[in-house]
Amino acid sequence: MLLVLCACNSKEDPVSLDSGSTTNNNPNVSDDNLPPITYADIDFSNWKVTLPVDENNNGSPDEYQPADLINNGYKTNAAIQPYMYDDAEDSSLVFYTYPETSTTNSLYSRTELRELINPSNSRENWTLAEGGEMSGRLKVASISENNESSDDYHKVIVMQIHGIISEEDMEIHGFSSNNGPPLIKIYWKDGFVWCHKKSLINESTDGDDLLETSNNTWTDIKVNLGYVGFDAFDFRIKASDARIEVQLNDENAYIYEDVSLDKWPYENYFKAGNYLTTTHADAFSYVKYYNLNVVH
């Protein structure tokens, strides 16, 4: 396998990952003979981004809301640029991350978009019955080698459907946290695309017990969807009432329809980007997105 090594791990100096390319820091080209620069097809109106650092020292990863990203706002934001930036050479948006600051319920750092169907209220989300579809074209451009296991490289999550406890259930049960488990995680593992789906260990579990987020209640069912290596690929996740479809490129969609989906008690939101699942000090990953779309 080919590892595309990146010379830069510095947050002050984002780089292009394609030979001869440049960053988007100077997007206005005066030479009329050059083709116009195009950028990744992503509307940030309903996305916030989480970064792998805590520059404001509040104990949590830094986040930037849709208002910070839209209208090219992310292009000129010095805090965002080291971790999410354009590569004009191939019209991609680069997500760079490394182990640094993680969220409360995770050991791992990320540069990742989180869907906000209401940009002003992260507690407003969607149910499986309401449904939604996320699709994108992306690739893992570069990732660190894994010298601690039988894997060649570290693993990275590039898409998710994440669960969240509804405001109604928060009030009913008096929960202090609305965190729910991820329903779908799309992994890149040594060039293969894997889908991990949460399923009940005991399908007879019911009622309030369904809101128990521990591994004693929910476990991952894992499916290998195919090999992509370091090439670009298309991926689609479609959620509907008690049904999930995941599709890699033009392959037949893999369909889940089961009791666990029928009983899924959480609301949901989409995530996309670069969620590196290692704490190794020298680890890194670069994920490129060419387009990303969500419909409900």
* Average pLDDT of the chain to the nearest whole number: 91
CA distance linking residue 110 with residue 103, whole number of Å: 9
pLDDT attached to residue 208: 93
| pTM exceeds 0.85 for this model | yes
Structure tokens at 73: 């706002």
| Band of pLDDT at residue 205, cut at 50, 70 and 90 | very high
pLDDT attached to residue 104: 85
pLDDT attached to residue 260: 98
pLDDT attached to residue 293: 98
pLDDT attached to residue 31: 58
First and final CA of the chain: distance in angstroms?
38
Residues with Cβ < 8 Å from 208, sequence gap 6 or more? 173
Structure tokens at 270: 């989409």
Q: Residue 61: is it exposed, middle or buried by C-beta count within 10 angstroms (0-12/13-18/19+)?
A: buried
| Number of alpha carbons in the 13 Å side-chain half-sphere of residue 276 | 32
| Band of pLDDT at residue 214, cut at 50, 70 and 90 | confident
CA distance linking residue 8 with residue 155, whole number of Å: 20
Structure tokens at 123: 């507690």
Residue predicted with more confidence, 28 or 101: 101
pLDDT attached to residue 26: 47
Mean local confidence (pLDDT), 42-64: 97
pLDDT attached to residue 17: 62
pLDDT attached to residue 105: 84
Q: Residue 280, Cβ neighbours under 10 Å: how many? A: 15
- Strand 285-295 and strand 41-42: the pairing is parallel
pLDDT greater than 50 at residue 3: no
196 within 8 A of 184, measured Cβ to Cβ: yes
Structural domains of the chain, with CATH: 41-295 (2.60.120.200)
pLDDT attached to residue 65: 98
* pLDDT, tens digit (0-9, with 9 covering 90-100), for 154-200: 999 999 999 999 999 999 999 999 999 999 999 999 999 999 999 99
pLDDT attached to residue 267: 98
b (16+ CB within 10 A) / e for 139-150: bbbbbbebeeee
What's the angle, vertex CA 198, arms to CA 193 and CA 204, rounded to 5? 150
Give the whole-number percent of the chain exceeding pLDDT 70: 89
CA distance linking residue 287 with residue 182, whole number of Å: 20
pLDDT greater than 90 at residue 27: no
* pLDDT, tens digit (0-9, with 9 covering 90-100), for 229-268: 999 999 999 999 999 999 999 999 999 999 999 999 999 9
Which helix (H) or strand (E) segment is 167 a member of?
A: helix 167-173
b (16+ CB within 10 A) / e for 220-240: eeeeebeebebebbbbbbbbe
Percent helix, strand and coil across the chain, each to the nearest 5:
10, 40, 50
* pLDDT, tens digit (0-9, with 9 covering 90-100), for 109-119: 999 999 999 99
CA distance linking residue 4 with residue 286, whole number of Å: 10
| Band of pLDDT at residue 9, cut at 50, 70 and 90 | very low
Residue whose structure tokens are 């191939």: 90
pLDDT greater than 70 at residue 4: no
What are the counts of helices (DSSP H) followed by strands (DSSP E) for the chain? Answer: 4, 16
